[in-house]
Amino acid sequence: MNLDYLIIGQGISGSLLAYHLIKYQKKILVIDDPKSNVSSSVAAGIYNPITGRRLVRTWNAHHLFPFLKKEYGELENILSAKFMHPVNIYRPFTSIAEQNDWMAKANDPMYRPFVVETKIGSDETYPVNDPFGGVVIDQSGYIDLPKFLGSFCQYLTNESRLREEYFDDNDLEIHQHQVKYRDLVTKKIIFCDGTHIKSNQYFNWLPFRLVKGELIDLKSDVAIDNIIIRGIFVLPLGSNFYRVGATYDWENQLLKTTDEAKTDLGQKFEELTSVPYEVVGQQVGIRPTTKDRRPFIGLHPKFEPIGIFNGLGTKGISLAPYYANQFVEYLENGRELDSEVNIARYFSLYYLK
């Protein structure tokens, strides 16, 4: 079979890249091994333009957030499935000092489009410990990833554009302008293989910093409508079920849930909300995070038919739509990639290895 693009992986990055290439009417095939560790199917799916302890605007938010809304909306129409849930995020302040710091930026035009309002005292409508008030964030919400990935998988299957099997890079034959893989001949192969990149012989020189994360699922009698974030996130899933996360573990990469994480997340939930709850589930995944916290996108320094779209780290939901589009514009129209995401920034590591 002759292809324009072979994509390895159908997580969030492979799916969004496939979608953009299909829009360009390219002949594509996706190979995905449903048995591998898939960060995308564990992720809470939250998109949030103001994050972190210091309440800073997400890098490139002014491009990413309008784009993601349009893109997931388009995909909902094409796939006839509802998976995007726009929900405000409430971020209670930790102290008066934090409230003051925030006030200094609340009217900054860089922040204003992402803010509904700032509360300077406790808000009785949230069952949350917020004595210093907090900020209600706009253009936020979550993507129901199992639903999106399942619908997209079905779409690719119906179009005969998906093979569910393990891709073995030892069987790849590289030529100057194409690659061969078993019965497939393709002009380009793009790796969207998430944390599996560590054993990918073509890109294992890139400085990934994989981070394990755990989540717990809770049931509580208290109804919370908005996503609450401070140290942890509390994501309401309906019928008084909540997903609470996440932990960050840079040392241990064992794909197993731990009692420590369950206790830690439970304690943080109690500090934040003081509502009774029962833990009904726990999940674990590994994030494909990078040393400089920017994605890894581009073509291999030596083998031009081989590319990568990976390193989406903790923000796959907000980064994937915008950068899948930018990568396809680069591949098809020769437009520039942002230098912060282009793997060319690390080519020296390849030549030094």
Contact residues toward ligand FAD (CB under 6 A) are 8-14, 31-33, 36, 38-40, 42-46, 166-167, 192-196, 213, 215, 245-246, 285-288, 310, 312-318
Pairing of strands 227-230, 232-238: antiparallel
Nearer to ligand FAD, 39 or 273 (CB): 39
Give me the sign of the Cα torsion angle 128, 132, 138, 144.
negative
Partners of 2 in beta bridges: 185
CA distance linking residue 176 with residue 305, whole number of Å: 7
Place of tokens 């891709």: 167
Q: At what angle do helices 12-23 and 316-333 cross, to 10 degrees?
A: 40
Query: Closest distance between ligand FAD and the C-beta of residue 247, in Å?
Result: 8
Token digits for 185? Answer: 């001949």
Among 81, 245, 237, CA closest to 149: 81
Nearer to ligand FAD, 111 or 203 (CB): 203
Nearer to ligand FAD, 176 or 201 (CB): 201
Query: Closest distance between ligand FAD and the C-beta of residue 177, in Å?
Result: 24
Query: Closest distance between ligand FAD and the C-beta of residue 92, in Å?
Result: 19
Give me the sign of the Cα torsion angle 302, 305, 311, 312.
positive
Classify residue 292 by its DSSP letter: T
Query: Closest distance between ligand FAD and the C-beta of residue 229, in Å?
Result: 10
CA dihedral 192, 198, 203, 207 (to 10 degrees): 110
Query: Closest distance between ligand FAD and the C-beta of residue 158, in Å?
Result: 19
Could you tell me the CA-to-CA distances from 117 to 82, 114, 142, 240, 322 in Å, in that order? 28, 9, 20, 25, 27
Nearer to ligand FAD, 47 or 132 (CB): 47
Classify residue 52 by its DSSP letter: T
Query: Closest distance between ligand FAD and the C-beta of residue 200, in Å?
Result: 8
Nearer to ligand FAD, 106 or 279 (CB): 279
Nearer to ligand FAD, 8 or 119 (CB): 8
Nearer to ligand FAD, 112 or 293 (CB): 293
Query: Closest distance between ligand FAD and the C-beta of residue 38, in Å?
Result: 4
Partners of 241 in beta bridges: 219, 238
Query: Closest distance between ligand FAD and the C-beta of residue 271, in Å?
Result: 20
Nearer to ligand FAD, 83 or 132 (CB): 83
Q: Per this entry, what is the length of the chain? A: 353
Helix, strand, coil content of the chain in percent (nearest 5): 35, 30, 40
Query: Closest distance between ligand FAD and the C-beta of residue 232, in Å?
Result: 11
Phi then psi dihedrals of residue 32, to 5 deg: -140, 130
Nearer to ligand FAD, 115 or 232 (CB): 232
CA distance linking residue 275 with residue 341, whole number of Å: 42
